[in-house]
Structure formats: C-alpha cells, structure tokens
Chains A and B, each alone.
Chain A
Amino acid sequence: MAGSRSVVVTGLGATTPIGGTVADTWKAALAGTSGVATMTHDWVTGLELPVTFAAEVAVEPSAVLTVPETRRMDRSAQVAIVAAREAWADAGTPEVEGTRLGVVVGTGLGGLWTLMNSWDTLKERGPRRVLPMTVPMLMPNSSAAYVSIELGAKAGTHTTVSACASGAEAIVAGMEMIRSGRADVVVAGGTEACVHALPIAAFARMQALSTRNDSPETASRPYDATRDGFVLGEGAGIVVLESEEHAKARGARIYARLAGAGMSSDAGDIAAPDAAGQARAMRLALTDADLTAADVVHANAHATSTPAGDIGEAEAINEVMGDVVVSATKSMTGHLLGGAGALETVFTVLAVAERTAPPTINLTDPDPRLPVDVATSPRELPAGQIAALNNSFGFGGHNVSLLIATA
C-alpha cells in the first residue's frame, strides 16, 4: 500500500541468544554465530531431560532491568521490555500523542515460568505464599501491557497468540492499526521465554526437538540432510512501525517499508505444516503489497530444522517467489516460538536496509530435495528497489508472510 497510510519501520529492538541488542545480534548473525549451548541448570540433569541444550538469551534480562522490574514481570515480559526500550530509543523516542500510539506484542506460551513457579509454590508452601502478581504476570497479554504502560500507549494494546506465528502476526496487526487510521505509531513484535523443563519434555515427546546433545551448536541445521528437529530458543524482537507521513513529518530515519502481508490458516492438522496454506499466505502478501515475485530477492524462511517442515516451505517459496536468496536464521538463534517472527522481521528489515542476506549455518550436507538457493555466508543483495519475504508459521495452522521493501 502506498500513500499517506503507507507503513514504514523506524526502530528496531531485540534481545536474543546471539546478542543483547540489535547491533550485537546482527553482527553475530553476519559472523555465523551459534547461540545454542548445553544448559547448566540443575533441573536439566535432575529431571533427566532427553534434550540438554537450548538457545538462551546472551544477556540475562536481570543484567539490564531493576530488581523490582524483574520481580513484577515474567521472564517473557522482561525480554519484551528490554527489546521495546531499545526499539523506542532507536526510533528517536517519537513525539506522539498517547491516543495515537498502539502496542501489539505476540507470544506463544505467555508467562510460563510464572505459572510453573507459582504452582510449585502453591504445592510446596501453600496458598498464602502465591504472589499476588501471579495472574498479571502469567497472562499472555502481560508483555504488551507492560510495553504500553512504559510508553503511555493509549490507542489500543493487543496480543496475538498463534504459536510460532505470533510475533509476525503482531506486526501485521500493528500495520493494520496504522492503515485503518487507529494509530500513527505502533510498537509491535513478539516475545518468548519458556526454556523450562515442561516445554522441553513436551516438545521432545512430539519428536520436534533436535536431540544432538553431544554437539549443541550444530543442532539447529535447517535444510541439512541430517537435521533432526528444532532447538528451543528465547528472546524478543520489537519494531517501531509508523505511518510514512508521520515518520517523514518528524524527519525519522526510515529503515524500510512494511509493504504488505498475507495470512492464511490451514484448517487441517493441529501441528503439521501445510505448504499449500503457506503458499497462499505468500501470494496474498504479494497482492497486498502490490508487488510481483520479480521484486522479491530474499526470504527469511520459517525453516525450523525439522525433517517435515523445511522442504515443504522451501518448495512453496520456490513456487511463489521464484529465484530468491534464502536465509534460515534459526540455524543461529534457535526457535524463539512467539518471538521468532518478530526477530526475523528485524533480520529481514536489516537485510533490505543493508542489502545483505544473513548466513545459514550448519548446512554442510544439503537435503537433495532443496529447491532454493540458501546463503551459507552473508550474501549481497541487488541495488535498486528490492523486497524481501519473512515467513512464520505456527501450530494450529497459522501462516503469516510479511514483505519488507526498500523505503
């Protein structure tokens, strides 16, 4: 969409397994850094978990937040607020009426640590020891609410919940708030912090997780013939979206344009992906953005490193977008679930702005069926007007495709 309600990206924030800021994360990504490591928590060995590694955040939120902040926010909200503060500062702390400022922060599982810890407290120490803040901390909208309180956002505060598509769907919802005229600026993104024994045990029972315990840094290997599942990650990505008119009026630095988005649902299996639904989302994104496949030069794929998912998506990308340079950044960051789509939007915005596709690591023995060109080292993207795709898909059959274009 062009014109006065065209949506641009003016701020970026992230705290991830490979860096505590966007600058550190992007630098680490271009260097092909793995954020995956063996976990050292007592509960990993104590519970004899079948998977002993994860992609935990590089910088503990407690290192940058105050003690009262860490006590009042679930870990998922802590990483969200860290990323939101960075994004807001990066956008130049826009002067905007509270009633014209919106917030959308998605999450897959919400305040899982709070829920589990509170249940432990209740069982072990009784109901009077359950924190009064338990519900405000565990509710999935907690992160969005804390960001809105921090920034005084009064145009509406929303939470998208669509498993691993949550972060990308939040960005679509933010875009739609601006297009519809409900807001001039929206702080949008996704967060997750559920590196906890329960999701690890559950995902392992689904046979969704890599079990490469002897070599964690090579466990996340999208498109590789020997891939055996995803790696659980944590962290948050946040972008500041703004109407082009508002951004230009205040002389903001514009990274890229959020050209459009497509969403579809599979109405099929609760967990298995469906490449047909994914292709539909990608086509809808092209239509929404008024672009053609020829405009799209790069794709940040969902590619989680599961045997079933990666190739189906790659075939759909190839079918809809044709010849694009594909990056699977989960090879480095692991899978941030509800944070993934937002962090990967940050990567896609930077790829367009800096005309560099980030690398995909651990792709040593490509699946023979791989139909797309995957960047295994940073790849320069063409000059001129370009666009890039960011795909995110979630359990439940949620498919979200975003198109980012040069400003």
Chain B
Amino acid sequence: MAYTEQEILTGLAEIVNEETGLPTDSVELEKSFTDDLDIDSLSMMTIVTQAEDKFGVTIPDDEVKNLVTVGDAVRFITGAQA
C-alpha cells in the first residue's frame, strides 16, 4: 500500500519535529531544509534514514543533496515506493 503525498508530508514533519524540535506545521512543501528549517547535514542524514524506515523506501546517499525542499523529499519518496 503506497503512502499518499499528504501522508508522507505528515510523516516527514513528525520526523523533523523529533529530530529538531521544529513544530510540525512549519514543515511545508516549499520550505528548504537548510535555508528555511536550518537543518544541518548530520540531522539531514538522520532524517533520511528515519524516512527510509517509516516509508519502506531507499534514499541513496547520492540523492540526498538533490532533496533541497521538503517537497523534493515528498516527491522522491512518493516515486520510490514500489
């Protein structure tokens, strides 16, 4: 069963909240992980592996640099679902 984009956004927001303390409603599609949410590279690696576990996908390390915004991550995870 595939997750919808909305479910992925909600799940990502929960992960970001646990990792950084940012409120879940601040995690919006157009926000940049580094520029808007101030998430550093170590936190980003943790968020990626948490997202892999949560959504049952693989996000290759080489791909992480392309996930600039929350929307990029949501779209990548959506597409990566089998």
- Decide yes or no: A67 and B21 within 8 Å by CB, A132-B42, A133-B42 being known contacts: yes
Question: Is B29 an interface residue when CB atoms closer than 8 A count as contact?
Answer: no
**CB under 8 Å from chain B, chain A span 123-137:** 128-129, 131-133
Closest Cβ of chain A to B71, distance in Å, is 23
Closest Cβ of chain A to B64, distance in Å, is 11
Q: Which residues from chain B contact A67 at a C-beta distance below 8 Å?
A: 17-18, 21
Q: Which residues from chain B contact A68 at a C-beta distance below 8 Å?
A: 18-21
Q: Which residues from chain B contact A129 at a C-beta distance below 8 Å?
A: 49
Question: Is B34 an interface residue when CB atoms closer than 8 A count as contact?
Answer: no
Assembled-state Cα–Cα distance A68/B49 (Å):
16
Assembled-state Cα–Cα distance A369/B18 (Å):
56
- B interface size (C-beta, 8 A): 10
Taken residue by residue from 14 to 44, chain B's Cβ proximity to chain A (1 for < 8 Å, 0 otherwise) reads as 0001111100000000000000000001100
Q: Which residues from chain B contact A131 at a C-beta distance below 8 Å?
A: 46, 49
Question: Is A250 an interface residue when CB atoms closer than 8 A count as contact?
Answer: no
Closest Cβ of chain B to A73, distance in Å, is 13
Question: Is B2 an interface residue when CB atoms closer than 8 A count as contact?
Answer: no
Q: Which 6 A-B pairs have the closest CB atoms?
A: A68-B21, A132-B45, A132-B42, A67-B18, A66-B21, A68-B20
B residues with a Cβ closer than 8 A to A are 17-21, 41-42, 45-46, 49
A residues with a Cβ closer than 8 A to B are 66-69, 71, 128-129, 131-133
Q: A129-B49, A132-B42 are in contact. List 15 more A-B contacts (CB 8 A).
A: A66-B21, A67-B17, A67-B18, A67-B21, A68-B18, A68-B19, A68-B20, A68-B21, A69-B21, A71-B18, A71-B19, A131-B49, A132-B45, A132-B46, A133-B46
